[in-house]
């Protein structure tokens, strides 16, 4: 084997609870791709879920899969058709490359493309490795003052952009966010940057609510097991001083979806990001008779430019989300920290 700098050390998930570091060949970029030397890769809850369960819904790990999709790297080689980037450019990687030809893609809703190749979603490989190839037009050049870690965090931040756009967050909006994990927190940052006047957040863990307050949440509600959705909806209204215009669910639990439906004002909107059970029991007639729009949120489309602008302008500070840093060689330790939440882990970053 060559020196550590020219080895393509790679984190490969073989099956449930079987994550290994392997040396793989350095890939060659295709005509429209670039070869990246990966620098920063964040651990997402979905990465941990694939590791601990071997699947997310109908996405099942059936063959060894490279993990990781929140990432940034440095261009080291160009495919022959690439003119938008040059060697040495620092880029954030948008991990889903769609077919560009189907009706969904042509409408601009390329996150719904059935033929999307999405990093670390079976059977597609991710990019927690030293060297990785990616479509050049899904790599976003970072300004000099934006760090690689911030570049990697454009991925979860784009989920927040998608949700807040779907919900119509604007100047003066009052927003409820259920779940103060990383995705709930990026929605808080985006909602504030888009002009929300008041944001209230709920969670079952007080530490996460403290982080939410530190990041700008105006109000927080600790959810106890002894309260019904109706009681919690009333508590949200009393704490906020009004019913929220928009609710964003970053949990996917039956109880939080019900809370969103009951708490949101008549004529308001609910955006569901969290993936929970395939079927849930919710007060749909209550939502229907109050003309509440229920909207799904799946990844993002055309959100990276806005996410990057938010970070580059200083309107959004994602660096506060990073609580732990590890080297690529410490991947297993990093995943264990992300799984257990040890040391108040919010976002665990791996440096390749």
Ordered per-residue pLDDT tens for the chain, 352 residues? 344 457 999 999 999 999 999 999 999 999 999 999 999 999 999 999 999 999 998 899 999 999 999 999 999 999 999 999 999 999 999 999 999 999 999 999 999 999 999 999 999 999 999 999 999 999 999 999 999 999 999 999 999 999 999 999 999 999 999 999 999 999 999 999 999 999 999 999 999 999 999 999 999 999 988 999 999 999 999 999 999 999 999 999 999 999 999 999 999 999 999 988 889 999 999 999 999 999 999 999 999 999 999 999 999 999 999 999 999 999 999 999 999 999 999 999 999 9
Are 257 and 125 within one domain? Answer: no
CATH number of the domain within which 187 lies? 3.40.50.720
pLDDT, position 275: 87
Are 187 and 245 within one domain? Answer: yes
pLDDT, position 235: 97
Residue 76 CB contacts under 8 Å (≥ 6 apart), including other chains: 34, 35, 36, 37, 87, 131
327-337 pLDDT per residue, tens: 999 999 999 99
Determine contact, residues 94/152, Cβ cutoff 8 Å.
Answer: no
CATH number of the domain within which 42 lies? 3.90.180.10
Q: How far apart are CA 259 and CA 261, in angstroms?
A: 5
This prediction's pTM: 0.96
Name the domain count of the chain. Answer: 2
What string of DSSP letters covers 26-92?
A: PPPP-TTEEEEEEEEEEPPHHHHHHHHHSEETTEE--S-EE---EEEEEEEEE-TT--S--TT-EEE
**Quick check: is 305 in a domain?**
no
**Quick check: is 145 in a domain?**
yes
Are 97 and 225 within one domain? Answer: no
User: In which domain, by residue range, is 256 found?
Assistant: 159-296
The percent helix, strand, coil of the chain (3-state, each to 5) is: 35, 25, 40
Gap between the terminal Cα atoms of the chain: 18
Are 281 and 205 within one domain? Answer: yes
201-248 pLDDT per residue, tens: 999 999 999 999 999 999 999 998 899 999 999 999 999 999 999 999
Are 185 and 243 within one domain? Answer: yes
Are 183 and 141 within one domain? Answer: no
């Amino acid at each position: 084997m060559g020196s550590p700098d020219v080895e393509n050390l790679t984190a490969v998930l073989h099956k449930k609870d079987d994550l290994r570091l392997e040396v793989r060949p350095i890939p060659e970029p295709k005509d429209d791709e670039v070869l990246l030397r990966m620098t920063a890769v964040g651990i997402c809850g979905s990465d941990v879920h694939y590791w601990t369960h071997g699947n997310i819904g109908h996405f099942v790990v059936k063959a060894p899969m490279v993990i990781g999709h929140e990432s940034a790297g440095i261009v080291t080689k160009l495919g022959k058709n690439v003119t938008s980037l040059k060697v040495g450019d620092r880029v954030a990687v948008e991990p889903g490359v769609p077919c560009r030809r189907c009706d969904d893609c042509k409408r601009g809703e390329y996150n719904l493309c059935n033929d999307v190749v999405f990093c670390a979603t079976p059977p597609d490989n991710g990019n927690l490795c030293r060297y990785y190839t990616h479509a050049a037009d899904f790599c976003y050049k970072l300004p000099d003052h934006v760090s690689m870690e911030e570049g990697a965090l454009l991925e979860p931040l784009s989920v927040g952009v998608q949700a807040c756009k779907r919900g119509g967050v604007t100047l003066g909006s009052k927003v409820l966010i259920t779940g103060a994990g990383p995705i709930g927190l990026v929605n808080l940052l985006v909602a504030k940057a888009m002009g929300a006047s008041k944001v209230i957040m709920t969670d079952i863990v007080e530490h996460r609510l403290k982080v939410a307050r530190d990041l700008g949440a105006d109000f927080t509600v600790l959810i106890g097991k002894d309260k019904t959705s109706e009681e919690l909806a009333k508590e949200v209204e009393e704490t906020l001083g009004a019913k929220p215009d928009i609710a964003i669910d970053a949990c996917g639990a039956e109880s939080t979806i019900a809370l969103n439906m009951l708490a949101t004002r008549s004529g308001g909107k609910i955006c569901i990001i969290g993936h929970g059970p395939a079927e849930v029991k919710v007060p749909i007639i209550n939502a229907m008779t109050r003309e509440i729009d229920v909207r799904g949120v799946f990844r993002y489309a055309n959100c990276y430019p806005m996410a990057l602008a938010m970070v580059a302008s200083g309107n959004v500070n994602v660096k506060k989300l990073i609580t732990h840093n590890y080297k690529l060689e410490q991947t297993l330790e990093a995943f264990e920290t992300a799984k257990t939440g040890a040391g108040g882990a919010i976002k665990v970053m791996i440096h390749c």
